[in-house]
Structure 1
Amino acid sequence: MSGIYLHIPFCKQACSYCDFYFVTRTSEREHFVQQLLKEIYSYADTQNAEETVKTIYFGGGTPSLLEPRQVEKILEALEQIFQVDSREITFEMNPDDVTEPFLADLRNLGVSRASMGVQSFDPELLKFMHRAHSSEEALHCLELLSNSPFESYTVDLIYGNPNQSNEQLETDLNKLLPFNPPHVSAYSLTIEPRTRLGKQVELGRIAPPEDDKVATHFDIVNKRLSEHGIKRYEVSNYSRPGCEAHHNSSYWEHENYLGLGPGAHSFWWGEKAYRWKNEADLRSYLRDEDSKEKEQLSLQQLAEERLMMGLRTRLGVGVKELEKKYDYILTDRQQQYLVKRQQEGKLKVDNRIKLTDKGIKIADAIILDLVTLY
């Protein structure tokens, strides 16, 4: 098994753009940990516990709201039930939660990779995104992280905010790059309908950024990070050589993984392929009334997913892989489409299909076109 994802659903406050499942009542953390341990133990002696676990990922929500002793209990339970031989244990954290002792405790527990949700250093943008931390806390946290025992860590940035100027983005990068991060996740702001930001856009109070502006921001990020040896290997992920995230790649390559905690997703491909999701409701989870929505996936669905995920990466998708693993053969119309996009400099096709920097900016449109052509 490639990995285990643990969804820690607690947040101090709601970020304006976030549509992941979370709650702001943090008083139930201990009760949640006990229920999470129970869910882990429920996999004892199942086929899901037979494969070796290569990565563990604490996501959320805000995992850094947990205490080190709670993290220790969770890791001990995973070691007890699963065959853990992890090459990577990632822990998401927010700058306002981080102290030097906290980082030391996590590292001593075996956490090998930190994921820091900075998003921006600009006070106005942080306020707009309704982040709980300040610019000063973000800078202080990066100082702690760069001087900590963590050799592997990633920093999150968000660009393409409404009214965000090119100069503001350049300033964010100017503040980040002196820390020489081994990995950066840079996301274009996505406006989701059920978020605070989505409602403001729907009511006409905020105008979403124009596509050209977002494309310019992408170019700025790509150029500046590349100049510092931090190269893009997926639409939103950049790293120095050898510092790519192992856990995320498992999703892109259809390796088996389990998601634990409310709202977490799992994928398992044995004789048949299934995806299921824990109910996104903490109260139901704590009462042990969680209902899982399970879906069987056809080879056609899996092939289209592989195209969607693989074309977002630097490696792209192998044509022979599609044929052998998914029984998926490109149609004449699809091949003609690929030839046209290659002539436009948006992708390259040999034994693999790979998007160029020009094509990656419109990856969603190209992928949608490709999977709907027959």
Structure 2
Amino acid sequence: MRRFRAGRTIAAAAVALAAVLGAGGWAADTQTPLTGPPPGTAAWTADTSLGLRLPDPATAAPAQVASFFAELPQDQQDALAARHPLVVGNLDGAPVALRYRANALALAAERTRELARATDPSLTPQDHEAARTRAERYRTLLDGDRQILAFDPRGRGQVAEVYGDLATARRTAVIVPGSDIDLLRFDRTADPYGTPAGMARALRAEEQQQAADTQTAVIAWAGYTTPVGLGVDAATEDLARAGATRLTRLLDGLAVSTRPEAPPTVFCHSYGSVVCGLAHPSPARASGLVVLGSPGMGVDSAADLDHGVPLWATARNGSDWIGDVPNVRLLGLGHGADPTAPGFGARPLPATGSHGHTGYFAPGTASLAAYAAVALGRS
């Protein structure tokens, strides 16, 4: 009888999970994560113009990259960025200001390429429209003094942007987004607080209100391949594992290329909390983890994470659909225990005033005020 009840419970959980995902619009296609070194790596590693062996992006740790650039005069750094912008712009451990310049060059080159594709007679009208859309996206990322820390045009595209000055910031934060975020959806006017750029801007503005005398910086990081829709990818951890590797490398790079008072606080939204859980950063990489709208973290409890990195879980507001997702891990589906459950072991944060799955960073909410306090080290 006990075995029967257990089997029935497991079957019910699986059916419930499938039903919830189906209700959200099952995505039949799956995503292939971007892994490995940035585009242009072959030309970079073959470059002997400086009479030096350049660090291999596939194998060199960010600390090794930082040491390499520390020995180079500025003119040689600039020359490498001009010759290999996609490599330097994505090379964790390279000087931050150099990465900004390299990514500006890469964005300009990709925009020129897309504008040419937009009028290429050998392509279809759909190809022309897609090229115009990408070209416009690149133009907006080149506007003003935007600080693009990473840019990869492959696939759906990836990007990271810095708000504030990483060179002078005393407190820093990283936003890790969930599903449906990529180069084109990194920033948008509709539902702005559901994008990493909108979350980052809101967090930094709140920090400045709470501590005008404290220099802060926030990184909006769309640096991994996210699921599209609510399908197999969203219910499994394959993309999260690949994302966790990239997140760890980002945090390692920040540790050697910036000098805040403490490592960044990492904010993990929705599927991004699975990425953060699987990355389980050490105290050298993160001052704390904050999860919001979380379907689970891929772990059974906070005890499975590094005890030196505090974990906060945001109370789920009543209109967040993520509350309908069963907290199970079964046959490779689901992300485990609810981080907001009392027994999980996370420190609670309020969500008063927030609405829906993407409203936790909205100005005026108790959640945003709490996030700023945590990021400022005042919790």
TM over 0.5: no
> Going by fraction, where is strand more abundant, 1 or 2?
1
Normalized against structure 1, the TM-score is what? 0.30
How high is the TM-score relative to the length of structure 2?
0.30
